[in-house]
Amino acid sequence: MASVRTLPVKPDIQQQILVCGELRFTAYTMGEGPLVLLIHGFPDSPDSFRFQLSALAAEGYRAVAVTLRGYEPSSQPKDKSYHVANLARDVIAWVDALDETQAHLVAHDWGASIAYAAVAMAPTRFKSLTAIAVPHPAEFALQAKQDKQQLKRSAYIFLFQLRGVAEWWLARKDWAYIEKLWRTWSPAWQWESTHMQKVKKLFSAAGVKQAALTYYRQALDTKSALGRESAELYQRPILVPCLGITGENDGCIGHELFLRAMPAARFPGGVDICKVANAGHFPHLEATSLVNQRLLTFLRTCEKNFP
């Protein structure tokens, strides 16, 4: 049974606790209207969508940015399951907890990987999908195997398989590796120091770095029932309209590979691509006005065609 407990924060912003079974997810919401769920990635926090929250609220949407499973002690499951299938179930549970039947999804990085699976699992619960920086996961896996440059970019994933070593490396020297990843992924962008501090504070909470790294470890699981279910979800078609947003200078997933990994055949609901010039892996933060404009245009079209 999912429910919501609302806590006052400041005018126009509410902090909500989404109660989904035994897990508690902190969410930040602004505005009223059609629901837009915003799902952050790694290594990041819901604060990544602060500019989208205000823009969406101003245009008549109920914008809700949710903290991922495991990124706070209250949402760390006892069985330590961070398989994509369960992460997708979280998204559906969030919609229920917010007393809605459908939502638009706007998701970045790992959030995008989860959003593809959620739409595949329950397409009637979602009106659209906006995937930022991460293309279709099954296509990405196929394309990356043949792309030496992308294999080099994805080397951190193999580092994260080293239990104990990866946890130590991620946290050492005041989370210097997080800053290194951000610099590599968005080489021309200087993030706000306050945002980085929020990310470091989030990762410093009990169990968070272990949970975040487990995402990458369980993503490679092909033996368990949950691992097989997760992989199967990525083979299903995306039946809702999709907008893919890629930064031209993305150092995590090259924009050329992004384009190749978004074939129309995977998207019977339709797919459009927005390439953002002079932006890296965080285009929603690096080119906020452009991304917000493109996002709002897409959502309006979806609302008009699929009310």
Question: Average pLDDT per run of 10 along the chain, which is 307 residues long?
Answer: 48 86 97 97 97 95 98 97 98 98 98 98 98 97 92 95 97 98 96 95 98 98 96 98 98 96 97 97 97 97 84
Q: What is the pLDDT of residue 305?
A: 82
Q: What is the pLDDT of residue 14?
A: 86
What CA–CA distances, in Å, run from 174 to 14, 170, 171, 197, 204? Answer: 30, 9, 6, 10, 10
Residue 12's nearest CA partner among 58, 48, 47, 66 is: 58
- The reported pTM is 0.95
- SS3 assignment for the chain: CEEEEEEEEECCEEEEEEEECCEEEEEEEECCCCEEEEECCCCCCHHHHHHHHHHHHHCCCEEEEECCCCCCHHHCCCCCCCCHHHHHHHHHHHHHHCCCCCEEEEEECHHHHHHHHHHHHCHHHEEEEEEECCCCHHHHHHHHCCCHHHHHHCHHHHHCCCCCHHHHHHHHHHHHHHHHHHHHHCCCCCCCHHHHHHHHHHHHCCCHHHHHHHHHHHCCCCCCHHHHHHHHHCCCCCCCCEEEEEECCCCCCCHHHHHHCCCHHHCCCCEEEEEECCCCCCHHHHCHHHHHHHHHHHHHHHHHHCC
**Other CB atoms within 10 A of residue 167 CB:** 15
Check: CB of residue 82 under 8 Å from CB of residue 56. no
**Other CB atoms within 10 A of residue 261 CB:** 24
Q: Could you tell me the two tokens for 34?
A: 């059609």
Query: Could you give phi then psi for residue 84, rounded to 5 degrees?
Result: -55, -40
In this structure, the chain runs to a length of 307
* Residue whose tokens read 């509410």: 14
Surface-to-core class of residue 97, CB atoms within 10 Å of its CB (0-12 exposed, 13-18 middle, 19+ buried): buried
Which residues does residue 6 pair with via DSSP β-bridges, in sequence order?
16
